[in-house]
Amino acid sequence: MADPRCEHTFLAVKPDGVQGGLVVESSVVLTSNLLHNHYTELSSKIFFPGLMEYMSAGPVFAMVWEGTNVPSMGKKMLGATKPRESPTGTIQGDFAVDVGLNICHGKKIALWVNPD
Ligand code: UDP
């Protein structure tokens, strides 16, 4: 039986984080299809076209973390969506510039494991 304490969460360093040298390992350029599915609930937002352009601007570094409390721990490490609302010590608070350039993201493992 699966260990109930063993949780999973998805995190990605976005194009601005990869271009800024935050990761040195291999990374992937996202297809338009995957991006649209990933952000489907935001498709009516005014910032959606800009979000698609931003997320296609270069490779991202995608990860699945496994361990006890990783979803809540990952969220705490990332900070808030808006960098100016993220405390010092979080990734968004320390490294991100703007909500449209906010370096990291966490959610939706299944979509990335099986993109089609
Ligand atoms: N975003 C944006 N403008 C906004 C809100 C969100 O450009 O006013 C972008 C930003 O890159 C954010 C992504 O859309 O990370 C997804 O938004 P969501 O609300 O799902 O936040 P997240 O889960 O990424 O913190």
Which residue is closest in CA terms to ligand 1's atom 14? Answer: 51
| Cα distances (Å, whole numbers) of residue 78 to 1, 34, 43, 88, 104 | 31, 22, 23, 11, 7
Check pLDDT > 80 for residue 116. Answer: no
| Nearest alpha carbon, ligand 1 atom 2 | 100
Residues with CB under 6 A from ligand 1: 42, 47, 51, 81, 99-100, 102, 105
Give the residue numbers annotated as catalytic, written as ranges. Answer: 105
Looking at the DSSP bridge assignments, the partners of residue 66 are 8
Backbone Cα Rg of the chain: 14
- Ligand 1 midpoint to CA 2 (Å): 32
- Residues 68-84: tens digit of each pLDDT: 988 889 889 999 999 99
User: 28: pLDDT confidence band, cut at 50, 70 and 90?
Assistant: confident
* Domains of the chain (ranges, CATH numbers): 7-113 (3.30.70.141)
- ipTM at complex level: 0.88
- The residue count for the chain: 116
pLDDT band at 115 (very low <50, low <70, confident <90, very high): low
- Percent of all residues in the chain with a pLDDT value above 70, rounded to a whole number: 94
Mutation to probe ligand 1, out of 78, 81, 95, 98 (largest number of atoms < 8 A from CB): 81
Give residue-wise pLDDT tens across range 42-59.
Answer: 999 999 999 999 999 999
Distances (CA, A) of 50 to 19, 35, 42, 55, 100: 18, 12, 12, 9, 8
pTM of the model: 0.84
Site to substitute for ligand 1 among 51, 52, 60, 86, most atoms within 8 A of C-beta: 51
